[in-house]
């Protein structure tokens, strides 16, 4: 960085744009920012220089320099309106976020900015940076710290009645409680977000996020039809905005179809006009699962899980539902295989279903305890013994009903005799 500054003019900006390589352009922009002039025109040119500089540093993956830039600009922030300061700060934090592998740097940067905004009494900016910090902490799985930060922030924002920020924070709180498996609190926070959103105009991206979270919570309660409707709404919003989250909304729509045993619809949705835009590993993974479900094949199911590990097992929402689907498929297949037998070797069942003996034995014992069928495991002989379902004798419920009716008659006679005696 040169020690001699450049005049804050459009010619200097043009010089930076015409530079042969990014390093020269970055050097020129730094020299513009060193100009001590504080005239309105100079300030406007410097704002443009900051925007260009943050874009160049992002393209060059120089995250540490973006962090230093925020510290360097603090005297400049005193000369411009607070709204413009907030826009620049959030823009630089967004630029750092676009550089891969910078989550720890983003957290420390947000913490620094929170301290600075407290000292400068910039409440509006501090609340937004704190909300961003809470989201980063949640992504980093630091749930308790994120929850402590949000609890204080929610009270403060509710007092100020900043509805748009309140929607963001309530939505974030819902995601946080969902990550902690606290479904009632996640639903309560989502309801609060919807209530705040109904009072104001909410941007389509934000409405899509609310619908996506609603779908996730309904799917968690096994209400897949309602979840599908919310995922569809979210998909339409994100698709119109060309938001990358559209493919995840579509993926969850397909998951809902599989979970309600409508796997045949999956291929139709993927081959539709909207679905064809997003053909890729995410949709291929769901198609493989749908094919396995349609054929009731555990082997195909396990192949899909292995081939698309990143899309299925590493997505916590999909993984949770597919685990229950796998268990259901396994139980159905085992019940179908053991039906003709009264006594059968566990190894034979394992061969038929193409799974390990230990895995099959564990699942059979679980099914016996859950009373899915009557039987016992003879581990000495390595066999499963299946009992006939005990036939319930109709005389017992009939007797109980007769006694109950006699009791009612006696009570009625007692009431009548009491009236006569009176």
> Mean pLDDT for the chain?
88
pLDDT for residue 390:
66
Mean pLDDT (whole number) for 269-288: 88
CA distance 335 to 344: 13
Confidence label for 422 from pLDDT (cuts 50, 70 and 90): low
DSSP class of residue 343?
E
Least confident segment among 150-159, 216-225, 349-358: 349-358
Is the pLDDT at 391 greater than 80? The verdict is no
Place of tokens 């905004």: 117
pLDDT for residue 1:
43
Is the pLDDT at 9 greater than 60? The verdict is yes
pLDDT for residue 228:
93
Is the pLDDT at 50 greater than 50? The verdict is yes
- Check if the beta carbon of residue 48 is closer than 8 Å to that of residue 87: no
Q: How far is C-alpha 78 from the chain's CA centre?
A: 39
Is the pLDDT at 187 greater than 50? The verdict is yes
pLDDT for residue 397:
84
pLDDT for residue 2:
44
pLDDT digits (tens, 9 = 90+) for 291-305: 888 888 888 888 888
Question: Between 205 and 4, whose confidence is greater?
Answer: 205
Place of tokens 């038929």: 352
Mean pLDDT (whole number) for 334-356: 84
Mean pLDDT (whole number) for 211-240: 93
- Check if the beta carbon of residue 30 is closer than 8 Å to that of residue 72: no
CA distance 369 to 377: 11
CA distance 276 to 269: 9
CA distance 49 to 53: 6
Mean pLDDT (whole number) for 350-363: 84
> What percentage of the chain exceeds 90 in pLDDT?
33
pTM for the whole thing? 0.77
Is the pLDDT at 269 greater than 80? The verdict is yes
Q: Provide the β-strand partners of residue 375.
A: 386
Question: Which of 57, 121, 117 is closest to 91 using CA atoms?
Answer: 57
- Check if the beta carbon of residue 186 is closer than 8 Å to that of residue 177: yes
Confidence label for 210 from pLDDT (cuts 50, 70 and 90): very high
For 164, phi then psi, to 5°, come to -65, -45
Is the pLDDT at 412 greater than 80? The verdict is yes
pLDDT digits (tens, 9 = 90+) for 359-389: 888 888 888 888 888 888 888 888 888 887 7
Sheet holding 375-378, edge to edge: 343-345, 383-386, 375-378
What residues contact residue 2 under an 8 Å CB cut-off, 6+ apart? Answer: 27, 30, 31
pLDDT for residue 130:
93
pLDDT digits (tens, 9 = 90+) for 143-182: 889 999 998 899 898 888 888 899 999 999 999 999 998 9
pLDDT digits (tens, 9 = 90+) for 99-139: 888 889 999 999 999 999 999 989 889 999 999 999 999 98
Question: Which of 166, 208, 269 is closest to 216 using CA atoms?
Answer: 208
CA distance 222 to 151: 29
């Amino acid at each position: 960085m040169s020690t001699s500054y450049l005049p804050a003019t459009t010619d200097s900006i043009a010089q930076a744009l015409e530079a042969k390589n990014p390093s020269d352009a970055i050097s020129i922009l730094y020299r513009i920012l060193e100009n001590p002039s504080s005239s309105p025109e100079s300030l406007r040119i410097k704002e443009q220089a900051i925007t260009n500089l943050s874009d160049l540093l992002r393209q060059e993956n120089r995250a540490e320099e973006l962090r230093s830039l925020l510290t360097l600009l603090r005297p400049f922030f005193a000369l411009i309106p607070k709204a413009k300061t907030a826009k620049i700060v959030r823009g630089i934090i967004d630029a750092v976020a676009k550089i891969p592998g910078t989550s720890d740097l983003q957290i420390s940067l947000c913490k620094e900015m929170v301290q600075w905004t407290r000292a400068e009494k910039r409440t509006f900016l501090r609340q937004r940076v704190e909300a961003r910090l809470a989201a980063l902490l949640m992504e980093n799985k630091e749930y308790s710290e994120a929850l402590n930060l949000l609890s204080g922030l929610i009270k403060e924002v509710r007092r100020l009645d900043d509805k748009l920020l309140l929607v963001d924070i309530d939505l974030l709180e819902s995601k946080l409680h969902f990550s902690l498996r606290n479904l009632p609190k996640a639903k309560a926070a989502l309801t609060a977000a919807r209530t705040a959103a109904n009072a104001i105009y909410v941007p389509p991206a934000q409405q899509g996020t609310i619908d996506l979270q609603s779908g996730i919570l309904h799917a968690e309660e096994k209400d897949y039809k309602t979840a599908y409707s919310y995922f569809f709404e979210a998909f339409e919003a994100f698709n119109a905005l060309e938001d990358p989250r559209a493919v995840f909304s579509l993926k969850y729509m397909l998951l809902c179809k599989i979970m309600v045993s409508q796997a045949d619809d999956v291929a139709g949705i993927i081959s539709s006009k909207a679905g064809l835009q997003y053909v890729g590993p995410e949709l291929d993974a769901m198609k493989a699962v749908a094919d396995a479900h349609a054929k009731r094949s555990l082997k195909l199911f396990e192949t899909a899980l292995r081939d698309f590990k990143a899309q299925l097992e590493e997505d916590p929402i999909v993984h949770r539902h597919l685990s229950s689907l796998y268990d259901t498929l396994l139980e159905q297949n085992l019940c179908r295989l053991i039906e003709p037998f009264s006594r059968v070797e566990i190894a034979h069942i394992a061969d038929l279903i193409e799974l390990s003996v230990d895995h099959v034995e564990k699942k059979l014992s679980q099914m016996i305890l859950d009373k899915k069928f009557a039987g016992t495991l003879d581990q000495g002989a390595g066999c499963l013994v299946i009992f006939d379902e005990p036939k319930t004798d109709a005389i017992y419920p009939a007797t109980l009903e007769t006694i109950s009716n006699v009791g009612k008659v006696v009570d009625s006679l007692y009431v009548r005799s009491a009236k006569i005696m009176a």
